[in-house]
Chains A and B, each alone.
Chain A
Amino acid sequence: MAHSSTYKPSTGIERWFDSRLPLPRMMHDQFMVFPTPRNLNYWWTFGGILSFMLAVQIVTGIVLAMHYVPTTEGAFDSIEKIMRDVNWGWLLRYAHAVGASMFFLAAYFHTFRGLYYGSYKAPREILWILGVLILLLMIATAFMGYSLVWGQMSFWAVTVITNLFSSLDTLIPGLGTTLVQWIWGGFSVGAPTLNRLFALHYLFPFIIAGVVILHIWALHIPGNNNPTGVDVKTPKDTVPFHPYYTIKDGFALVMFLILFGVLLFYAPNFLGHADNYIEANPLQTPPHIVPEWYFLPFYAILRAIPDKLLGVIGLIGGIGVLFFVPWLDTSRVRSTSYRPIYKWFFWLFVIDCVALGYLGAQAPEGWYLFFGRLCTFYYFAFFLIVMPVVGLIERPKKLPGSITQSVLGPDSKRPAEAPPPRTAATAGEGVA
């Protein structure tokens, strides 16, 4: 939340800096004393976790790039060389591969949290749109990164996904084919394709980092939403970001790292596909081409729609529809906790996404296809029908008078101008 600066440069060098580049002032105002709602639960810790994971991916990725060879002959072997002969190479490579999964896991939690608590509603529309843009960039980056392994699954995933553009041939004959050949740099997925995917895979994370900065900037204008969805009304509703949320985010991050560590050290290939340890072979198609788990719901949508072009539109629309969520939701209140009808549809939507993930891994035939279509229908119906309609007909539950009241109960006194706490004062106990 925008607030007047409380930074007081105390030393000469700080004053010197402050009148030239007030970076310490920004850090102080935006990260130390930044007023943050006092009732944020653990679902709010994924923002910090995501920043950490982006850093992990960039750092491990840069070192991996120092050893990786982006040629069709060298790619697969150079990764095995990293695994065998590079100092700590196995750790870097597994951290990067498992890290991608952990990154998406956190991103999906973060997105569902935003959906549940209405964090996209005014005045946070741009914040939300930037978040969807980051998700889109992450998807592109992960897809390109997966191709670099140059295993069977990498190669055929690139072939299948890039080929989707050829569906544009049904609109303008030749347009899709031309576009696909332009993307490939040839007449099939090959050396030029791998080389450009590598270049772009190195570039995109820095674009993501840039959009993340805008995302945080957009967050710091209105300030955080919170589980009640009620705006901050008095300073008593907030606590300074440090130490209250640095410590809470820190604890959540360590718990997250424990899960990361279990996968990284004890089951690094659990989320991967065995076929990707077979070097790419353009002459042999694997029996089942499946993407990594984090793309499975979208893959299920693609395959549920019988028409190729419409399938591609469904695939893109699955993410694209998120951009319009701030205007699709007609509810007067933000938090789903106060929405008795919408709540059911929301959790059904979560189950729907998990079900799509499961169906995306199955062959699209028989009952799998039937349920794939049913789930795809609900996926879009949730955004295009449930969100606008339920918001209009539903009567929300009574909101708490303030954030403080939601924490301490309705009869708590609210001394209007109590300063944010900086030190321990008196003994007592409250709510965790």
Chain B
Amino acid sequence: MRHLSTFAAALLAALIVPGAALFAEDAGNGHGPEIKAQEWSFAPPFGHYDRAQLQRGYRVYKDICANCHSMRLLSYRNLGEPGGPEFSEKAVDVLASQAQITDGPDDKGQMFQRPGRASDRFRSPYPNDAAARAANNGALPPDLSVMAKARPGGPDYIYALLTGYVPPPEGFEMTQGMQYNKAFPGHQIAMPNPLVDGVIPYTDGTKPTVDNYARDVSAFLMWAAEPKLEERYKLGARIMIFLLVFAVIMYLSKRAVWARLHRRDHADAT
């Protein structure tokens, strides 16, 4: 009997030790390039979006990203909603009206162009995927609506990607028309480096650098993907406080109820 349990213990050790070694190894090679975690104002559990940052991020998106990338799940009205960039109602109308939206058909059956309204979805740069590919050397610029949730690392990844354009290392073979990027899986990305220092003027005193552009637009895309984040944290805080208090009450009640049984046991024993 004795040696059987020793055998079991040995089998257990044989399974755990290499398992742990595998785990350590995996942390090193991972599934893609390592993405460095950034500090964000919206980190849980008490974080919130930085309104000015989201407004700057929207500018970067609109002036740079929106030339090729759609954001079909968002509407201009979202820009004015609580928990987001919170542009004023007037500003939202202005931002919407800057886009020409195809509407129709009218009474004569014709489609027509009109300035955008707050209720319109963000205008897509191409009418369809085929047109987007044709204009981008065969590559399809992905929709950015939930991009910050659709890649491991989320906003950290987007920031790393936008600041990850460096010359390829010695001897790295590049395919025609591709760029080298530190953060992109496989390191070859079809998107040319979109950001250059000073290309978008900032009016709030923030330095117009690639690093700031990348940070701001990553935060903006995080909001676009998770517009109810602040509401979620706020409700979460209330519910967690409630549950913690409730847990204490339940624990004390449980003790009190079971004490009856213990008193009875004591009475029986004496």
Residues on A facing B (Cβ under 8 Å): 38, 77, 80, 83-84, 90-91, 94, 236, 239, 243-244, 247-248, 250-251, 254-255, 257-258, 261-262, 264-269, 274-275, 277-278, 287-288, 340-341, 344-345, 347-348, 351-352, 355, 358, 362, 367-368, 371, 374-375, 378, 393-395, 407-408, 412-413, 415, 418, 421, 423-432
- From A90, A239, A287, A394, B1 is in contact (CB under 8 Å) with A394
Given A243-B257, A344-B5, decide whether A265 and B266 contact each other with a Cβ distance below 8 A: no
Q: Are B260 and A423 in contact (CB under 8 A)?
A: yes
A334 to chain B, nearest CB (A): 20
Is B261 located at the chain interface by the 8 A CB criterion?
Answer: yes
Q: Are B149 and A358 in contact (CB under 8 A)?
A: no
Give the interface centre of B12, B251, B268 by most chain A CB atoms within 10 Å: B268
Given A80-B73, A264-B236, A347-B12, decide whether A275 and B150 contact each other with a Cβ distance below 8 A: yes
Q: Are A258 and B243 in contact (CB under 8 A)?
A: yes
Q: Are B267 and A428 in contact (CB under 8 A)?
A: yes
CB-CB < 8 A to A257: which residues of B?
243
Q: Are B233 and A265 in contact (CB under 8 A)?
A: yes
Q: Are B262 and A431 in contact (CB under 8 A)?
A: yes
Is B24 located at the chain interface by the 8 A CB criterion?
Answer: no
Nearest B residue (CB) for A269: B149
Given A274-B152, A413-B268, A427-B263, decide whether A90 and B228 contact each other with a Cβ distance below 8 A: yes
A275–B246 Cα gap in the complex (Å)?
37
Nearest B residue (CB) for A363: B31
Given A247-B257, A277-B146, A421-B264, decide whether A340 and B240 contact each other with a Cβ distance below 8 A: no
Docked complex: B1-45 residues within 8 A CB-CB of A: 1, 4-5, 8-9, 11-12, 15-16, 18-19, 22-23, 26, 31, 44-45
Nearest B residue (CB) for A80: B73
Is B196 located at the chain interface by the 8 A CB criterion?
Answer: no
Q: Are B23 and A250 in contact (CB under 8 A)?
A: no
CB-CB < 8 A to B259: which residues of A?
424, 429
Q: Are B265 and A412 in contact (CB under 8 A)?
A: yes
Residues on B facing A (Cβ under 8 Å): 1, 4-5, 8-9, 11-12, 15-16, 18-19, 22-23, 26, 31, 44-45, 73, 78, 142, 145-146, 149-152, 154, 225, 227-228, 231-233, 235-237, 239-240, 243-244, 246-247, 250-251, 253-255, 257-269
Q: Are B5 and A254 in contact (CB under 8 A)?
A: no
- From A90, A250, A421, B260 is in contact (CB under 8 Å) with A421
- From B149, B225, B231, B266, A427 is in contact (CB under 8 Å) with B266
A426–B22 Cα gap in the complex (Å)?
58
Beyond A80-B146, A251-B254, 14 extra complex contacts between A and B, CB < 8 Å = A90-B232, A248-B254, A251-B247, A262-B240, A265-B237, A268-B232, A274-B150, A368-B22, A371-B18, A418-B268, A428-B263, A428-B266, A431-B262, A432-B258
A224 to chain B, nearest CB (A): 16
Given A255-B247, A424-B259, decide whether A80 and B267 contact each other with a Cβ distance below 8 A: no
A264–B233 Cα gap in the complex (Å)?
10
CB-CB < 8 A to A412: which residues of B?
265, 268-269
A192 to chain B, nearest CB (A): 24
Nearest A residue (CB) for B250: A251
Q: Are A247 and B243 in contact (CB under 8 A)?
A: no
Given A251-B251, A265-B235, A425-B263, decide whether A341 and B8 contact each other with a Cβ distance below 8 A: yes
CB-CB < 8 A to A368: which residues of B?
22
CB-CB < 8 A to A258: which residues of B?
240, 243-244, 247
Q: Are B15 and A352 in contact (CB under 8 A)?
A: yes
Nearest B residue (CB) for A262: B240
CB-CB < 8 A to A378: which residues of B?
11, 15
Q: Are A244 and B258 in contact (CB under 8 A)?
A: yes
Nearest A residue (CB) for B150: A277
Q: Are A341 and B261 in contact (CB under 8 A)?
A: no
